[in-house]
Amino acid sequence: MKNVKNFKLVARQIKLLLFLLFLLVFISCYLGTIIKLNLFLNLSKRTQGIFSYLFGQFSVIKPSGEMNWNKCLLICFLCFFPSKLIIDILTNYLKSYTKQKLKINLSQKILFCCYQSEEKAQQHQNIIRETVFEIVPAFANQFCDYFFSFWKFLIEIGLEIYILFFRLKVSNSSPAIKWVIIEFLLAILFSYLFFTLIVNKLEKQNQRKKEKIYLLEKQQIGQFLNNPQKIGKLLRFIKENQKQNNLSSLHSTFSQLANLMIPGISISFIFFYYQTISQDFSSNIWTVFFTAWSIQRIFFSFRSLMLLKPSFFQKKASQRKNLVKIF
């Protein structure tokens, strides 16, 4: 009974560690956002002299009425050195500590089950040993990495969208510009999702073809070893398969097209803005530049979020099922 209580206590500790990890990730992203936001605000003449921290703002203007760049840049510098740097160090340490805590807790639970079922534990030593030394560490590492990356990218997307429209608000941008940005974002988002959906479907078909070709080659080579006189037939077969492999490589290259186009989103937006809104950048050059940069950052984070795959949960399924059956 005491061991069960200890397991529950450790489980609560792990939940608390995950919450602290989420909080530190948010603070780290928040500090980086403050730096970017205030560089924009003070480089633009319309909003110069304001230092915003998302939930409020204060003035960075000298008594003479001039912009106090020393104060503004000093605050931005301190947001990174040492604030963000210390937060990132604590985050990395906490992530490593959580992995160890989770690994030890899961291993102890398995060993405790072995203690309660000695006969079953002796019959299935290989499965238990593999679980404790391979599956549990892999699960702990990938679970924490996935949790950390998922929240980091999600927070980055949320903060980028927030400061994007916050900058437009404080710079008194017209409603037409806001609608153009929304339309551009939605057009790129749906195009990316549609393209990714089609590519994933084609990639699965391509993978099945590769596996089929591999099995046929293996079969043909086996037949050749039994009858070396059929080398001509084998070479023709390999040559035909090479054409199929070249086509598969072309499909794989095509599947990366959406990700390769993301770095060009910023210049695409500037071109789109120039063609639809205004051909004069003299009055709002920084607004257009930072807006384009924010849109590109949003899609970089969105791409990273889409590429996250907890591969551990797709592997070693048979070992996990066997372990569940044992206990």
DSSP 26-64: HHHHHHHHHHHHHHHHHHSGGGTTEEE-SS-EEE-B-TT
How much is the pLDDT for 155?
94
Q: What are 223-239's pLDDT values in tens digits?
A: 666 776 666 666 676 66
Q: What are 299-311's pLDDT values in tens digits?
A: 888 888 888 876 6
What sections of the chain are H helices per DSSP? 2-43, 69-78, 85-116, 118-123, 125-130, 136-170, 175-226, 231-255, 257-261, 265-276, 285-307, 317-326
Ranges of residues in the chain with a pLDDT under 70 are: 1-7, 223-225, 228-235, 237-239, 241-255, 278-283, 310-327
Name the residue among 309, 79, 287 with its Cα closest to residue 171: 287
For residue 67, the 8-state DSSP code is B
What count of Cα atoms within 13 Å lies in the side-chain half-sphere of residue 178?
14
CB neighbourhood size of 93 (10 A): 11
How much is the pLDDT for 98?
93
How much is the pLDDT for 65?
83
Residue 327 burial (10 A CB sphere; 0-12, 13-18, 19+): middle
Give the span between the Cα atoms of 82 and 18, in whole angstroms.
Answer: 24
Instruction: Output the pTM of the full model.
Output: 0.79
Give the span between the Cα atoms of 109 and 273, in whole angstroms.
Answer: 59
How much is the pLDDT for 228?
67
Give the span between the Cα atoms of 313 and 320, in whole angstroms.
Answer: 10
Give 51's strand partners.
58
Residues 6+ apart with CB under 8 A from 156: 29, 297, 301
